[in-house]
Each structure stands twice: as C-alpha cells, then as structure tokens.
A = this chain, B = another copy of it.
Amino acid sequence: MYKKVPAAYLQNKVTGEIGNAAGIFYPTNTAEVVACIKDAASKQQKIITVGGYTGLTGATFAKQEEFLLCLKEMQQIIKLDKQTLTLTVEAGVTLQAIQDYLAPTPYFYAPDPGSKAATIGGTAATNAGGMRALKYGVTRDNIRGMEVVLADGSIVFVGGLNNKDSSGYDLKDLFIGSEGTLGVITQLQLKLRVKPATSRSLLIGFNNLTDLAPVVYQILASTITPAALEFFEKSGLKYAADFLKIPMPTMTGTAFLLLTVDGSNAECLNQIESLKKLLEEADITTFKIFTTQEANLIWQLRGAIVSGVEASSQQEPLDIVVPINQITDTIVYMKKLTETLGLDGVFFGHAGDGNIHACIMRQNLADTLWQEQLATFLNQLYEKIAAIGGLPSAEHGIGLLKKKYFMKNLPSEKLGLMRQLKTALDPNAILNPNKIFD
C-alpha cells in the first residue's frame, strides 16, 4: 500500500521547493479510498488528495510528512445518460479523457480550464473556470452530484440528477472549491450540453486600456451572450507568438478584447450584427470579425501566453478577480505597481468575469531582490484587491501559496465561519491540513 513517492509529486511546481511525504497510495475504487482514510484516521496520519498535479497554488504540496492519496487510477467513465444529459465519471478521469470520450457525441462538458491533464476531481476541488465560464459557468455550475468520502471514512452522495433542490442544506457546493480539506471526491455526475453548431470570434482593438471597460459593461448589459470575452495586450501576445514561432497577426491597437459567440449559424450572425451595432454606436471602428482560420490562430496565441512567459522568465501566476466595474482600474494599478517596484508583468484574463491573470516576471533580478520585490507587490496588491471587494483567486484556488494573503485580507467573521466548518467536518484535521487557511 505504501509506495515510493515519485519525485515530481514532491516538488512545489510554482516555487520549485522540495517537500516530503509519508508515502503514496493509488486506490482503484471508492472502497479503497475509504479503507485508506479509515487507516489514516486511526493513526492520525494527515492525507493530501492528489490528482493530475496540475494545480497552481501548491494545494497538493506535501511538506509535513503527509500521506498522498492519488486518485489518478480511478479513471473509469461510468455512464453517459442521454435523457438527463449526465456523464458519470470517477474522480481521476482527466479533462482530456472526457473531451476525447465526448468528441464523437453531440454533447460537451462546458468547463475548459487550461490544463487538460487535470483530473475532474481536482477541477471540482478548486472550482476551476476556463475560457467558457462567462456563458456556461464554472465547474460548480456543471456538476450535478458527487460521491464524497468524509474524514471518518463514511461515504455521502451530495447533489444528484434533480434539476432543482430545496431539500435541506446545499452540501454539494460546500465540497466544491474546498481543495480537499473537507472530504475526498471520488465520483462525479457531470452536466452535459449540446454542442453549439458553430462559433464566430471578433477582436476589438483599443489604444488605451481604460477605453476597454465601458465596452465590457455594454456587452454584458446587452442581449449578446458571449461564450468567451478575453482581454490581452499586444505585448503579452508577443510572448506567445515567439514561443509558438508564429508571426504576430496584424492588429490595430495595444489592448484587445477577444469575443466569441456560439450557437446556430443564424444565432451567431445575429449576435455579431448586434455587436457591430453596439460598437458603431460607441464609435469604435477598430474591430475585426475573424474567419475560422484567423480565429483558430488568435485563440492559439491567447492560449499560449503563459507558456510564452514561462519560456522567457520565472514568474508568479496571479488569478485575482474583481467586480467587473473595477477591471481596468485594477489593471492600471497593477501596471503602475510593477513599474514602481522594477518588476515586469504581462496582463491578460477573462474580462467578462473580472478575472485578471497576470504573470509577474523575475527577468534578470537577483534571487533576494526578486523575492523582496515580489513580496511587496503581492502584499500591496492583495490588500488593494480586498479593499475594492475583489478576491485573491477566481479559479485556481488558495492552496498554500495564496494562504497568507487570503487570511490577512479576509474578514475575521468569515475566516471564523470557515474554521467552524472545517472543524465540524474534519475534527482531527487529517484532510489536507493547513491549506486555504491555518
């Protein structure tokens, strides 16, 4: 049962730090998860549930001799139910495997986080988002039910195939996003949707970043329902183009909104017409409706920004979210702060969600200075974000790396409430201890 832990599982992917673990176990079914947890509980052994090890916050990093419970061998796709539009899977199934399984069917699972090697259980534990969250919601909105093993080894099924539920407390949503601290998700019922027939993408260019926000408000307050509404800057896209060895496309402006609508051909045309009208009324002429080929290229570039940055420098990946009316002010604030501190940054994100990803880059800074400047940046940023009602994470989670900032800026009543819930469900703190909060 206790196997040697692969080296990759001992390293904090973001910081490079090497941890330690008491061992690793790969259950192949729920009964084995139960046995493992009961065994651990009897010995007061701490447990970290691990999936694809693709997380960005150190949520599965072991540094206190925790025992790793790795679900990646629980990879059975159990059932496709066409009547309730539900796909039942084990927690270790990867997003890639789900996409491959559904490819020949008329259905799709909407959440589309960056890493397709992530396990579905891991995306539920972090409430992962992705490009399509604006129209189709985040992971939380696309899970019907889950089997969860609790800290005492009992099995509970939360949620289910009913489309509505006013029958007692909402247990399902308590486990989603709890990063393995309240229970181990072993099986999931995923909500499927019918694939849209087609999609169209449109790029809007701006010379001033601050001109971008009013257009976002107008789009969100219109009858247009974008599947994606991304923003990025020409400077950020350049990292992706260099990385992919693709020439930069011709673009008017320095900051951009990339919008996709999907549906039937008629619906797409209709939405694009509404968009053109909205942009004309706002006196914006710097937009371009893409051909499918052009759209594929720009989305490929958008998807490669982080890889491009990582190929160029060590970086701190941010995942902040702010109320939508604070989005450009926040980006402007972040840019000024990086400049003041002599740091370099690339800013992009899910504009329609108010979710700003930024890569704060080390470039050639000496290690001590980088650590110091980065700490100053993060301290000031997270304090500012909290002051305007934002949060440190929209879709990556808090884990270990954002814990300090999360706890510092969280109202004490809210932290108290989270601690009460943790104590109620895991009184001996055996499940992923000291993650999210201490």
Which residues of A pack against B, CB within 8 Å?
81-85, 106, 126-129, 133-134, 138, 140, 150, 154-158, 160-171, 173-174, 176-178, 182, 194, 196-197, 217, 220-223, 263-264, 266-267, 270, 274, 319, 321-325, 350, 352-355, 389-398, 406, 410-411, 413-414, 416-418, 420-421, 423-425, 436-437
Q: Determine the residue in chain B with the shortest Cβ distance to A396.
A: B166
Instruction: Report the minimal beta-carbon distance from A164 to chain B, rounded to whole angstroms.
Output: 4
B166 touches A325 (CB 8 A): no
Chain B's closest residue to A390 (CB) is: B162
- The answer to whether B325 touches A397 (Cβ under 8 A) is no
Number of copies: 2
User: Could you tell me the dominant secondary structure of chain A's interface residues?
Assistant: loop
Minimum CB distance partner of A165 in chain B = B391
A165 shortest CB reach to chain B, Å? 6
Cα A138 to Cα B164 with chains together (Å)? 8
Q: A169-B177, A413-B150, A417-B156 are in contact. Are A163 and B355 (CB under 8 A)?
A: yes
Instruction: Please judge, given known A-B contacts A140-B170, A174-B174, A421-B424, whether A354 and B83 are in contact too, CB under 8 Å.
Output: no
Closest residue on chain B to residue A140 by CB atoms: B170
Cβ contact of A84, chosen from B166, B194, B267, B325, cutoff 8 A: B325
Pick from B138, B160, B164: contact of A355, CB under 8 Å: B164
Contact A156 B266 (CB under 8 A): no
Q: Is the CB of B411 within 8 A of A156?
A: yes
User: Is A196 a contact partner of B223 (Cβ separation < 8 A)?
Assistant: yes
**CB distance A170 to B176 under 8 Å?**
yes
Assembled-state Cα–Cα distance A320/B114 (Å): 39
B84 near A167: Cβ-Cβ < 8 Å: no
> A182: which B residues are within 8 A, CB to CB?
169
The answer, among B133, B194, B217, B416, for a CB contact under 8 Å with A222, is B194
